[in-house]
Structure 1
Amino acid sequence: MYIPHDNLMDNPAEILSFIQRYSFGTMITNIEGIPVATHLPFHAEMRADQLILTAHIAKANKQWQAITAQQNLVIFSEPHAYISPTNYDSLQSVPTWNYLSVHAYGKANIINEKETVMAMLEAAIKDYEPGYMAQWNELSETFRYKMANGIVAFEIVVTTLQGKKKLSQNKTDEERKRIIASLKNSGDSIVTQLGEYMENP
């Protein structure tokens, strides 16, 4: 990913927080010379200073057969918004786009142990809907394991991590204030979140 110095996001805690907030990523794998992508929710955590991404993919999706033999790219990208040149001091200005994005690279390890797969599924429930855990626990073990047979669980040990936040860092304070105000007043929750990031770059 092209990252000018002013746009670099390299604080590990900030990157982890970003991935956990915008956890629906795109996993890209090269299969016979063709990039193949699957969109998945990921659980991210640090283990002994190593970023680990865990997820599961449908067993019918053949991409899982290639993810252990090569580097995979997982992209987390959100929020983003159009930036109007009307926010700038100079009339000789052009539109641009502000955004945050993280690229994570690594090989995957398939997880076959049933207990570990169940723990991963329960971690996902806790991430997205903790209140569902009571209903999950009431499901029969037979049903839960039958559902688990239709997926392939895996984890990616991240070996290369790139973070970018393009937040008008090259603009004046007054221009940035106008941009932040326009974003936060947009009425769009994703655009508003970008304005909040701009307030605390």
Structure 2
Amino acid sequence: MYIPKYYKVTNVREIEDFIQANSFATLVTTKQGTPIATHLPVMLHKKGDDAYLTGHMAYGNPQWRTFETCGDVLVMFQGAHAYISSSWYTHENVPTWNYQAVHIYGQATILEKDVLVDDLTMLLEKYEKHREKPVLWDTISPELLETEMKGIVGFKIKVDKIQAAYKLSQNRNEVDYGHIVSQLKNEETPNSQQMAQLMEQRCKKQ
């Protein structure tokens, strides 16, 4: 991923928090030079100085069969993004797009069944525990679980390389930056509203 110096993010904790909050990812591998992509939720795990991503996909999805031959896989995470009109600047320029993105590279391996069960249990905990009637591993019938487990393949990716970019108009002067935030707030799209909030939070941290 091309990352100009203004937008490069190197704070590991910040990147980890971003992944946890934007965990629906795009997993990319190759088969004989052709890219293959699957969109799916993944989880980030830390073990000492090492980090891993885990997830699962349908057994019928041929992508998991490429893990052994494709070398590194790429996992892409996307956060807030919004169109930025150059009419919002105090000088002539061209429009652009603000965004947040994290790319993870690493080797993928298949999970054993017992490890996959643990991972699915944690996945349900993450997304269900706050609900009034949470659907957790122990609340699903063993018969249904056994049937569904036959239809998926779990995987683990050891994190070898991380690239992170937050393009949030950091290269703009204070006046233009504030004007961009104000104009984003006036937009009706959720993406623009989210970007405005993110840019405001960035200012408060400085």
Please indicate the TM-score interval, normalised by the length of the shorter structure.
Answer: over 0.9
Distance 2:9 2:40 in 1: 23
CA contact (8 A) 1:27 1:74 kept: yes
Query: Deviation of residue 61 (structure 1)?
Result: 0.5
In the alignment, does 2:127 pair up with 1:128? yes
Correspondences of 1:97-176 after superposition (within 5 Å): 97-112=97-112, 114-130=113-129, 131=131, 133-134=134-135, 136-176=137-177
Distance 2:22 2:146 in 1: 28
Aligned counterpart, 1:66 = 66
Query: Deviation of residue 134 (structure 1)?
Result: 4.8
Distance 2:135 2:74 in 1: 35
Aligned counterpart, 1:195 = 196
Q: Give TM-score scaled by structure 2 length.
A: 0.90
Query: Deviation of residue 170 (structure 1)?
Result: 0.9
Distance 1:75 1:52 in 2: 14
Q: Identity of paired residues, percent?
A: 38
Which stretch shifts more, 171-180 or 41-50?
Answer: 41-50
Q: CA RMSD in A?
A: 1.6
What is the one-letter code of the residue matched to 2:118?
A: A
CA contact (8 A) 2:56 2:155 kept: yes
Distance 1:78 1:36 in 2: 22
Distance 1:133 1:108 in 2: 31
Aligned partner of residue 172 in structure 2, secondary structure: coil
Which stretch shifts more, 120-129 or 24-33?
Answer: 120-129
Distance 2:67 2:192 in 1: 33
Aligned counterpart, 1:83 = 84
**Residues 135 and 128 of structure 1, relative CA distance in 2, 3 Å threshold:** closer
Which stretch shifts more, 99-108 or 136-145?
Answer: 136-145
Distance 1:13 1:139 in 2: 34
Aligned partner of residue 42 in structure 1, secondary structure: strand
Distance 1:135 1:22 in 2: 21
Distance 1:49 1:183 in 2: 39
Which residues of structure 2 form unaligned runs of 5+?
A: none
Aligned counterpart, 2:178 = 177
Aligned partner of residue 2 in structure 1, secondary structure: coil
**Residues 82 and 40 of structure 1, relative CA distance in 2, 3 Å threshold:** same
Equivalent pairs counted in the alignment come to 199
Q: Deviations along 1:13-54, whole A, 9 cap, x unmatched? A: 111111111111111101111011010111112221222111
CA contact (8 A) 2:81 2:192 kept: yes
